[in-house]
């Protein structure tokens, strides 16, 4: 197995592979429990040897309880002539997730309290949920509601759903490295047809896990595909020992659009993963969106709850709830692209490469600068900006390699890319000017 580098993880087709997988799982109606989650895990399981975990309805997980399993077969609103004006088969966003079953004839006035629209986005269907309440509803565009109003009369209203004692399901894949210390990557698997806010993270994480599976790594890597909130809580409740081994982690979502990139720090604020992601993004784009931790969002808030306080941040392109497509039917396959997915994948792999290769060296010739020119290390400058950067990377690395600064420390202090510092360090080692003092633990 080859060692981990950014180059070894990325193939020219990575973006296309991620997009193809996102497209395959996009039509599936997922919720926090049910067959949609299992079907999605079946597809992911064709790419990586995923292990499926389940907890039964009623099981206690921390302060929560596993809910009844919910599945849905069909739903519609028909006019008096039997025409489907609202059709679940056309969009699984049309039904409020976890809706109770209903089969009634009713007027629009009776139906209206159960209708959800976006008046300011009249062409779009909203995404709504009713996980822990006995309720039902339909989501539709404002334009579709106008058609209901024009139709008049009574409507046949059907939601063919069912609740049953069943299970909450999630999937895991563990890539074992030289150390039992783990890096966590987690994506939520509970949304229906939302390409960016669900499918993109699941697909990127799967392709990354597959790439890692044939590599020798320093850390072990745990990939979790779990329903939002209740899934992460269930994982934490049943994995005390594993949670204690997690030294760094990322929650991945909304990684396929053209915005951002955005990084939300862990609760710790300056954990190694925070420093690494901020370093990567600041050298990738002019103004990345770096935000401090706050206890709302995705499953980073579960992993960062005070009883665990894991070093887990959130990586996205556009920040959740800030873009007009968020939680609407506009979050479709046209909203994401292979190009944007490839860029996100590259930034994540850059971060993992830093975690893997960060180390602390010591200058073996610390009194004055060693003569680099006679060793063939000092590049001619002239107008070559790369030569200038290479030379500065060597000088910074020599100066700060005193046994107390890691390569990441040096990259941050010098404001040079980690890759440049790491290359300089390797060259200096080869010429006997640096030696490794101790490995930097994550």
Range of the domain at 155: 69-164
Quote the pLDDT of residue 385: 67
Rounded CA-CA distance 206/225 in Å is 9
CA 301, 304, 310, 315 torsion-angle sign:
positive
Distances (CA, A) of 429 to 224, 401, 432: 38, 11, 5
Quote the pLDDT of residue 9: 67
Rounded CA-CA distance 408/396 in Å is 12
The last residue of one of the domains, among 122, 139, 164, is 164
Residue pair 30/44 in contact (Cβ under 8 Å)? The answer is no
Provide the β-strand partners of residue 225: 171, 187
Is pLDDT at 197 greater than 90 in this prediction? yes
Asked which of 126-140, 173-187, 252-266, 382-396 is least confident by mean pLDDT, the reply is 382-396
Q: Which two tokens stand for residue 400?
A: 């700060």
Query: Strand, helix or coil at 315?
Result: strand
Confidence band of 132 (pLDDT split at 50, 70, 90): confident
Helix residue spans in 304-417 (DSSP H): 338-357, 385-400, 407-414
Query: 311 and 238: one domain?
Result: yes
Is pLDDT at 3 greater than 90 in this prediction? no
Tell me: is residue 327 an annotated ligand-binding position: yes
Helix residue spans in 152-224 (DSSP H): 201-212
The last residue of one of the domains, among 138, 164, 190, is 164
Q: Which two tokens stand for residue 404?
A: 């107390």
Query: Strand, helix or coil at 387?
Result: helix
* Average pLDDT score over residue span 236-255: 97
Quote the pLDDT of residue 408: 98
Listed in sequence order, the residues at least 6 apart from 263 whose beta carbon sits closer than 8 Å to its beta carbon are: 274, 277, 278, 281, 288, 289, 290, 291, 313, 314, 315, 316
* Average pLDDT score over residue span 312-323: 98
Query: 313 and 189: one domain?
Result: yes
Query: 396 and 312: one domain?
Result: no
Q: Which two tokens stand for residue 257?
A: 């659009």
Helix residue spans in 69-223 (DSSP H): 108-111, 142-151, 201-212
Quote the pLDDT of residue 346: 96
Query: 34 and 178: one domain?
Result: yes
Confidence band of 441 (pLDDT split at 50, 70, 90): very low
Quote the pLDDT of residue 440: 41
Quote the pLDDT of residue 367: 93
- In 62-77, which positions are buried (b, 16+ CB within 10 angstroms) versus exposed (e)? eeeebbebbbbeebbb
Is pLDDT at 167 greater than 90 in this prediction? yes
Q: pLDDT tens digit string along 266-313?
A: 999 999 999 999 999 999 999 999 999 999 999 999 999 999 999 999
The residue whose two tokens read 């929560």 is 64
List phi, psi (to 5°) of 276.
Answer: -65, -50
Element (H, E) at 290: strand 289-291
DSSP state of 328: B
Listed in sequence order, the residues at least 6 apart from 424 whose beta carbon sits closer than 8 Å to its beta carbon are: 390, 393, 394, 396, 397
- Mean of per-residue pLDDT scores for the chain: 94
Tell me: is residue 197 an annotated ligand-binding position: yes
Quote the pLDDT of residue 377: 86
Query: 222 and 328: one domain?
Result: yes
* Average pLDDT score over residue span 91-109: 97
Query: 22 and 135: one domain?
Result: no
The last residue of one of the domains, among 145, 164, 183, is 164
Q: Which two tokens stand for residue 86?
A: 């609202």
Q: Which two tokens stand for residue 256?
A: 């396929």
Element (H, E) at 167: strand 167-175
Q: pLDDT tens digit string along 348-406?
A: 999 999 999 999 999 999 999 998 888 888 865 555 567 888 899 999 999 999 999 99
Query: 122 and 242: one domain?
Result: no
Quote the pLDDT of residue 27: 98
Instruction: Tell me whether strands 167-175 and 51-56 are parallel, antiparallel or unpaired.
Output: antiparallel
* Average pLDDT score over residue span 18-35: 98
Q: Is the pTM of this model over 0.75?
A: yes
Rounded CA-CA distance 340/223 in Å is 22
Q: Is 169 left (phi over 0), alpha (psi -120 to 50) or beta?
A: beta
Q: What is the dihedral of CA 251, 255, 261, 263, to 10 degrees?
A: -10
DSSP for 293-304, written as a single string: --S-SSTHHHHT
What CATH number does the domain containing 371 carry?
A: 1.10.10.10
Q: Which two tokens stand for residue 230?
A: 């209740």
Query: 41 and 186: one domain?
Result: yes
Query: 201 and 292: one domain?
Result: yes
Q: pLDDT tens digit string along 406-424?
A: 999 999 999 999 999 999 9
Rounded CA-CA distance 254/191 in Å is 12
Is pLDDT at 109 greater than 60 in this prediction? yes
Quote the pLDDT of residue 185: 98
Element (H, E) at 361: strand 359-363
Query: 82 and 54: one domain?
Result: no
Quote the pLDDT of residue 258: 97
Residue 281 exposure: Cα atoms within 13 Å on the Cβ side = 24
Residue 336 exposure: Cα atoms within 13 Å on the Cβ side = 37
CB atoms within 10 A of CB 122: 13
Query: 185 and 130: one domain?
Result: no
Distances (CA, A) of 411 to 262, 266, 416, 425: 21, 21, 5, 11
Q: Which two tokens stand for residue 105?
A: 């004839």
Tell me: is residue 384 an annotated ligand-binding position: no
Query: 80 and 185: one domain?
Result: no
What CATH number does the domain containing 249 carry?
A: 3.40.630.10
What CATH number does the domain containing 109 carry?
A: 3.50.30.90
Total domains, the chain: 3
Confidence band of 32 (pLDDT split at 50, 70, 90): very high
């Amino acid at each position: 197995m080859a060692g981990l580098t950014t180059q070894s993880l990325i193939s020219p087709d990575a973006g296309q592979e991620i997009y193809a997988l996102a497209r395959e799982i996009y039509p599936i109606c997922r919720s926090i429990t049910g067959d949609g989650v299992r079907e999605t895990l079946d597809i992911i399981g064709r790419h990586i040897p995923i292990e499926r975990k389940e907890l039964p309805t009623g099981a206690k997980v921390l302060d929560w309880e596993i809910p009844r399993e919910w599945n849905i077969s069909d739903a519609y609103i028909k006019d008096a002539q039997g025409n489907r004006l609202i059709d679940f088969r056309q969009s699984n966003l049309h039904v409020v997730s976890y809706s109770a079953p209903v089969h009634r004839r009713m007027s629009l006035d009776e139906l209206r309290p159960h209708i959800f629209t976006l008046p300011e986005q009249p062409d779009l269907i909203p995404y709504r949920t009713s996980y822990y309440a006995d309720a039902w509803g339909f989501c539709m565009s404002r334009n579709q509601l106008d058609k209901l109003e024009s139709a008049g009369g009574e409507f046949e209203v059907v939601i063919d759903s069912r609740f049953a004692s069943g299970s909450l399901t999630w999937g895991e894949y563990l890539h074992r490295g030289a150390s039992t210390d783990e890096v966590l990557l987690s994506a939520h698997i509970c949304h229906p047809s939302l390409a960016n806010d669900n499918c993109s993270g699941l697909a990127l994480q799967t392709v990354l896990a597959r790439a890692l599976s044939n590599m020798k790594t320093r850390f072990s890597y745990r990939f979790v595909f779990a329903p939002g909130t209740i899934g992460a809580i269930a994982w934490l409740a049943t994995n005390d020992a594993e949670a204690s081994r997690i030294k760094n982690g990322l929650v991945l979502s909304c990684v396929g659009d053209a915005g951002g990139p955005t990084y939300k720090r862990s609760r710790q604020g300056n954990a190694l993963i925070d420093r690494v992601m901020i370093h990567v993004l600041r050298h990738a784009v002019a103004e990345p969106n770096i935000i401090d931790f706050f206890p709302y969002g995705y499953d980073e808030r579960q992993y960062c709850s005070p009883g665990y306080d894991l070093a887990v941040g959130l990586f996205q392109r556009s920040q959740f709830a800030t873009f007009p497509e968020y939680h609407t039917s506009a979050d479709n396959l046209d909203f994401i692209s292979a190009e944007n997915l490839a860029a996100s994948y590259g930034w994540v792999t850059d971060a993992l490469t830093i975690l893997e290769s960060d180390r602390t060296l010591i200058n073996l010739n610390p009194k004055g600068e060693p003569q680099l020119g006679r060793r063939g290390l000092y590049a001619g400058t002239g107008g070559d900006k790369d030569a200038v950067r290479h030379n500065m990377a060597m000088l910074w690395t020599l100066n700060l390699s005193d046994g107390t600064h890691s390569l990441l420390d040096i990259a941050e202090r010098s404001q040079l890319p980690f890759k440049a510092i790491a290359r300089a360090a390797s060259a200096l080692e080869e010429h006997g000017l640096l030696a490794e003092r101790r490995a930097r633990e994550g």
